[in-house]
Structure 1
Amino acid sequence: MSHPASQPAANHVEVEHSIVLIRHGETEWSRSGQHTGTTDLPLLPEGEACARRAGELLAGMSFVAAFCSPLQRAVRTAELAGLRDVELAPELREWDYGGYEGLTTPQIREQTGDPTWEIFKDGTVPGDTPGESVWDVAARVSHVLAKVTPLLDEGNVALVAHGHSLRILASVFLQMSPRFGARLLLDAGSLSMLGFHHGQPTIQVWNRQTRGA
């Protein structure tokens, strides 16, 4: 897996370092399409297998740092992928879906009476938790990027987290609106890579599959 990249143009130095995004492996709710924000579900056996295969794909890479959402599905994925010295980063936790936690998109559309409802466009409502807007999630993942991006001068960095939080993080990194994440499909257990080319933030690899690899 190639990962050419370069530092921001101000430094005029070509490097080959990447931010590697690992979405946790499959859970019962990711399989059924239920919104899984604060609910702390374990990986299914298939999800654990994906995490191990992700580790095989990363075997040739070294990392100067690794950060992980504190939810168990992400922590277990990082462990099975063979990442070492992983730092828990609460900012990487999944979107708080509030009153939509545990519901599928068709169920939410039926509940709201809006056949076009979509999380990036319409957001959440309060429930057992307050819920977050896409802008709330973007603000916290921006803190992760502020910490991680300078580390690319030294080497690769791994981030292990969730479908929506990583899609929003990638959008922020690319200097796009957080809602651009709606156009970035990211499957459970997949690998993606971000970096710089001629000073511009770029996608190097996106949604590389580990299921059945």
Structure 2
Amino acid sequence: CTLPGNRYIDSKIQGSIAQAGLLRNKAADETRIATLEKGQGTVEIYLRKGKIAAMLVLDVENDKAYKAEFDLSGAGLLAEQAPDQFYCVRYPAVSPATQDAAPDIAETAPTPDLDTLKHLQSKSGVTNILYINYWGGSYTSPAWNDGNTINYTPFSQDADTASFSDKERHDMWLGWAEAAEDYAPFNINVTTDSALYAATPE
């Protein structure tokens, strides 16, 4: 097919998928997938009742995307689209100088005291709770361990489970911070507070 700017691409059909793809909120009867002969990318051809209804060209090598919808006579023009609507855009690699300048969170993470560690919250007041239990305890439920109680020890990186070293407290904070970052887009409070967890309805 010919892309805007009279650039021609060649592709080869690799297979077809029945009832795949969405076109104006309606499923296509069939989607045929072709790969570009030169370079990375695909051509997706959407068929309705045996006729081409739309086409999507993903030219990954050049970070380009093109889409066309065809009328009943089979006429349609490919128009360039924002590629990040269709695939993950490749970002430039971090230069060594920039990478060296960025602080390592593991190195800059604090070493809180135990009281602070026991009351960490990522989103105070949010009612959905993800509890990180560093403190040990026991759990009994018919759904686990054939109903037998499960006993678990506090977090420890050495043989001493009765106290926490500076390194352990550093890593406990870091583990909480990384989990909080992972769940930041969601309405979830990541906490180490056992009382807050216990007061939260299932």
Give me the TM-score of the superposition, normalised by structure 2.
Answer: 0.24
Larger Rg: 2
- Which is richer in strand? 2
> What TM-score do you get using the length of structure 1 for normalisation?
0.23
Greater helix proportion? 1
